[in-house]
Structure 1
Amino acid sequence: MALFDLPLAELLTYRPERVEPDDFDAFWRATLSDAARHELKPEFTPYDALLARVRVQDARFSGYEGQRVAAWFLAPAEVAGPLPCVVQFIGYGGGRGQPHEWLLWPAAGYAVLVVDSRGQGNGDTPDLPGDDTPQHSGLLTRGVLDPEQYYYRRLFTDAVRAVDAAAAHPDVDPTRIIVAGASQGGGIAQAVAGLHRQVRAALIDLPFLTHFRRATEITDAHPYQELADFCATNRDRIEQVFRTLGYFDGVNFAARATAPALYSVALMDDVCPPSTVFAAYNHYAGPKELQIWPYNRHEGGATFQPPIQLRWLRDLLA
């Protein structure tokens, strides 16, 4: 795909007016206060992943409404703690996967907590009690007519609690917790950076769940097409949809985030269009840097991005 969004010169200054409900902060205070009423109960059980140089644990903690969330905890076997810890969030449709998929961070001397996405992946974390069948798409519109019932209220709450679970691990330095992810994972990391003050840094790649209305207007790629299709069917509820999405828009979380952030964007990305990423980046309230990949689509920097992140974190945490 060729360039399709705004020219780079305009993207660099693209800072649209934020549209958010008046009770945005009250909504999230109430949501997270309700979650905090439930004991976190972090559990870390040794897991034999056949990885001699890496300690692997099956992790569980209480997320939204006390519902148990699955994760993997990995740490280098021969490095003494307390370690900086990356809380890793997953792209749309995926789950925590297998431990051997997450060796980058322990190889670099970090711990990593790989957080399952409720209702996605292979079903290790059900979305709702009694509903243990995962799904690959359709979650973007699940409950979208009511912010109290919207799927991402539950998922973002899990993600905030995941930071608490990482901080509770005896091998983790709670002052050096990094949130990270790409696509949906980047959108989740962006939201947590705006909601949790214990986050030390954020690695936000090609964030999904950001500047929703523009995304639905300029791309017909999935998953944003799910929203467009829903609005096409529910013609009389379009403003109701976008009012709900205002509580979950990455632009609004970015404006509240203060931890240093390293973003990345791909200028030919039709899945998470560049203007939606720049909208959040240009509103981001904390120190920030941006890596631009001019000729790439939703793969972004791919294998070129981790060395940039490792160097950035090394300098930040030194």
Structure 2
Amino acid sequence: MPIVDKPIQELLQYQGSTPRPADFDEFWGARLTQLDGIDPRPELVESSFQTSYAECFDLYFTSTKGARIHAKYARPRNSNAKCPAILFFHGYTGDSGDWLGYLPYVAEGFCIAAMDCRGQAGLSQDAGGTLGMTCSGQFIRGLDGPAEDMLFVQIYLDTALLARIVMKMDQVDETRVGVRGGSQGGGLTLACASLVPQIRKAAPDYPFLSDYKRVWDMDLAVGAYAELKTYFRAADPRHEQEQAIFEKLGYIDIQNLTKRIRAEVLMGVGLMDTVCPPSTQFAAYNKITSPKRYILYPDYGHEDLRGHKEIIFQFFQSLKD
């Protein structure tokens, strides 16, 4: 079959191209300490959408820079037992989607929380300014200022704070929590599992936000990664600061985080993916030291992987035990 990236044998050995900042661990340790000092003030507002078996709410909480973050939250109706929970993260520039996509999990006895990323299409606030341009895309937002002010630093922390809040819900068993998402949602799934090692299962599909330098070297800074080319053309047309730019992006490169993961991981990969090339996905996967496996879809690109949602649904069933 044709390939768009490395052969599978090389994918399984690839360790990534984006530089890892020397103070990476200290940086994220400080960010998590910062999160400890935030009073999230969670609020549940009953949704107008309800079913006979699911109680549905709008969940709001305060995160970094004072932003009020929104997530859909649903739980089994009339259940007194502690339930497992799954957090869902959406694709780039999207939102948490419709309630119907989550109801099979609630019907199966799970609590669910689906977060709207700040600054994207949902209800979460994008509070706090950043230095530098924001004319195209979001992972470059804040690249000209202190690393801790980068937008995706805040979004990664939002996922961790959501996990902490859900784990403290009266109806949730904090020892049985999973995370799930595709593309940006896949990247956030890995980021959340990295920052909250108590998470037990993670199911990312074709994760975005991994190995920016590899994307650049493959000349695939288009589509979801197009803002990388926009940034260089506008801010560094002669690439005099290329090394420094990729090093700063290293703070929000999920491949640099995933060694922290303790969850069991199942990753779905389309080998024809030219949006998030397979090598960038395996750069993150190969650093995971907890139990893990991948499922390949040789003829699929950056799209729904046929039958994979059912596999993921089965993957999470053991959280009920």
Q: State the TM-score, normalizing by the size of structure 1.
A: 0.91
C-alpha distance in structure 2 between counterparts of 1:239 and 1:101, whole Å: 42
CA positional deviation for 1:29: 1.5
| Segment of structure 1 superposing worse, 8-17 or 264-273 | 8-17
Could you tell me which residue of structure 2 aligns to residue 192 of structure 1? 192
Q: Does 1:305 align with 2:308?
A: yes
C-alpha distance in structure 1 between counterparts of 2:16 and 2:56, whole Å: 44
| Segment of structure 1 superposing worse, 187-196 or 236-245 | 236-245
Q: Does 1:251 align with 2:272?
A: no
Could you tell me which residue of structure 2 aligns to residue 128 of structure 1? 127
C-alpha distance in structure 2 between counterparts of 1:226 and 1:243, whole Å: 16
CA positional deviation for 1:104: 3.2
CA positional deviation for 1:119: 0.6
SS of 1:160's partner is helix
**1:212-291, aligned counterparts within 5 Å?**
212-218=212-218, 219-233=220-234, 234=236, 235-291=239-295
What one-letter code is carried by the residue in structure 2 that aligns with 1:52?
S
C-alpha distance in structure 1 between counterparts of 2:305 and 2:79, whole Å: 29
Could you tell me which residue of structure 2 aligns to residue 145 of structure 1? 144
C-alpha distance in structure 2 between counterparts of 1:269 and 1:300, whole Å: 11
Quote the sequence identity (%). Answer: 32
C-alpha distance in structure 2 between counterparts of 1:100 and 1:137, whole Å: 31
Give the conservation status (yes or no) of the 8 Å contact 1:118–1:127: yes
CA positional deviation for 1:316: 5.8
| Segment of structure 1 superposing worse, 59-68 or 174-183 | 59-68
| Cα pair distance change 1:53/1:140, threshold 3 Å | same
SS of 1:272's partner is coil
Could you tell me which residue of structure 1 aligns to residue 211 of structure 2? 211
SS of 1:139's partner is coil
Could you tell me which residue of structure 2 aligns to residue 25 of structure 1? 25
C-alpha distance in structure 2 between counterparts of 1:203 and 1:176, whole Å: 14
Structure 1 segments (4+ residues) deviating >4 Å = none
Deviations 1:65-93 (A, max 9, x none): 34221111012325443111111111100
Q: Does 1:77 align with 2:80?
A: no
Give unmatched runs, 5+ long, in structure 2.
none
Could you tell me which residue of structure 2 aligns to residue 43 of structure 1? 43
| Cα pair distance change 1:126/1:40, threshold 3 Å | closer
CA positional deviation for 1:183: 0.6
CA positional deviation for 1:217: 2.1
| Cα pair distance change 1:3/1:175, threshold 3 Å | same
Give the conservation status (yes or no) of the 8 Å contact 2:18–2:214: no
SS of 2:241's partner is helix
What one-letter code is carried by the residue in structure 2 that aligns with 1:216?
W
CA positional deviation for 1:214: 0.1
| Segment of structure 1 superposing worse, 16-25 or 205-214 | 16-25
| Segment of structure 1 superposing worse, 210-219 or 154-163 | 210-219
CA positional deviation for 1:176: 0.8
Q: Does 1:294 align with 2:290?
A: no
CA positional deviation for 1:9: 2.6
Deviations 1:149-192 (A, max 9, x none): 21101101111100011112111111111111111111011111
CA positional deviation for 1:223: 1.3
The number of aligned residues is 313
Could you tell me which residue of structure 1 aligns to residue 5 of structure 2? 5
Could you tell me which residue of structure 2 aligns to residue 314 of structure 1? 317
| Segment of structure 1 superposing worse, 19-28 or 5-14 | 5-14
Give the conservation status (yes or no) of the 8 Å contact 1:178–1:199: yes
CA positional deviation for 1:222: 1.3
C-alpha distance in structure 2 between counterparts of 1:18 and 1:50, whole Å: 45
Give the conservation status (yes or no) of the 8 Å contact 1:39–1:66: no
Give the conservation status (yes or no) of the 8 Å contact 1:62–1:161: no
Give the conservation status (yes or no) of the 8 Å contact 1:35–1:65: no
Could you tell me which residue of structure 2 aligns to residue 108 of structure 1? 108
Give unmatched runs, 5+ long, in structure 1.
none
CA positional deviation for 1:18: 7.0
Q: Does 1:67 align with 2:67?
A: yes
| Cα pair distance change 1:220/1:3, threshold 3 Å | farther
C-alpha distance in structure 2 between counterparts of 1:78 and 1:265, whole Å: 38
CA positional deviation for 1:282: 1.2
**1:149-160, aligned counterparts within 5 Å?**
149-160=149-160
SS of 1:284's partner is coil
CA positional deviation for 1:129: 5.0
CA positional deviation for 1:300: 4.3
CA positional deviation for 1:208: 0.4
Deviations 1:123-142 (A, max 9, x none): x11211599xxx99511211
Could you tell me which residue of structure 2 aligns to residue 96 of structure 1? 96
SS of 1:199's partner is coil
CA positional deviation for 1:56: 0.1
Give the conservation status (yes or no) of the 8 Å contact 1:266–1:300: no
